[in-house]
Amino acid sequence: MKLLHYNVYCGQGCKTDATEEKLAKLGAWLKAQAADVVGLTECNNWDKLPLARIAEGWGYPHIELLVTKSGYHVVLLAKLPIERFGTYAPFSRHTN
């Protein structure tokens, strides 16, 4: 299993204006890495994007989003289903 963690630095340009186009280069890079599971930090404003559809286009049909009070959200992408043990209130499946 190949794991990857990447800090996208203030949302990959989405800190003030979240658009899918701003994530295109990141998506291409992630595809090239061919990781099975990807952890992304500083996903600022990504909660305003259709993440499930975007991630599926990158080859990751399973996604979890941790919305933080600071705005520096965390995203977990996986090629296989994610099984969650326990619950953390702001950590939820992202479906838009």
pLDDT for position 95 = 46
> Is the pLDDT assigned to residue 14 strictly greater than 80?
no
Phi, psi (degrees; rounded to nearest 5) at 90: -75, -5
Paired strand residues for 38: 4, 77
Q: pLDDT tens for residues 35-73? A: 999 999 999 888 888 999 999 999 999 999 988 888 899
pLDDT of residue 20: 85
Domain around 13: 3-93
Residues 6+ apart with CB under 8 A from 18: 11, 44, 45, 46, 48, 49
What total number of domains does the chain contain?
Answer: 1
| pLDDT at position 9 over 50 | yes
**Strand positions, DSSP E, 2-42:** 3-7, 37-41
pTM attached to this predicted model: 0.83
Amino acid at the residue 67 = V
